Amino acid sequence: MGMRFHKSIRLLPFLRLNFSKSGISFSLGTPGASLNLGTKGARGSVGIPGTGLSYRKSLSGAGRSSGAGVILRTILLCALFAAAAYIYAVLQR
């Protein structure tokens, strides 16, 4: 098993700066949904907080086509993240 390193600094309540062995990235989102922008491209993640269950998808990066399709998927995934974050916030009240 390889050695891993990860350090995260919260810049704003919804924005983190991440440091790892492979580089620097930014994460935007809440504990149920996030968008990560880094050296390997953009990744979206949606999960159920506290359960360990999540789904992660690469939105861009090596081997992916750039253009309208990636932009549309990114916009749709951000809308999904916003809806999940809203539902999570409502359930926390």
pLDDT of 75: 63
Sketch the domain layout of the chain as residue ranges.
Answer: 6-92
Rounded mean pLDDT, 7-24: 84
pLDDT of 67 higher than 60: no
- β pairing state of 33-38 and 41-48: antiparallel
Q: How do residues 31-43 score in pLDDT, each as one tens digit?
A: 888 888 877 778 8
- The band of 62, judged by pLDDT with boundaries at 50, 70 and 90, is low
- pTM check: above 0.85: no
Per-residue DSSP letters for 22-85? Answer: TEEEEEEEETTEEEEEETTEEEEEEEETTTTEEEEEE-SSTTPPPSHHHHHHHHHHHHHHHHHH
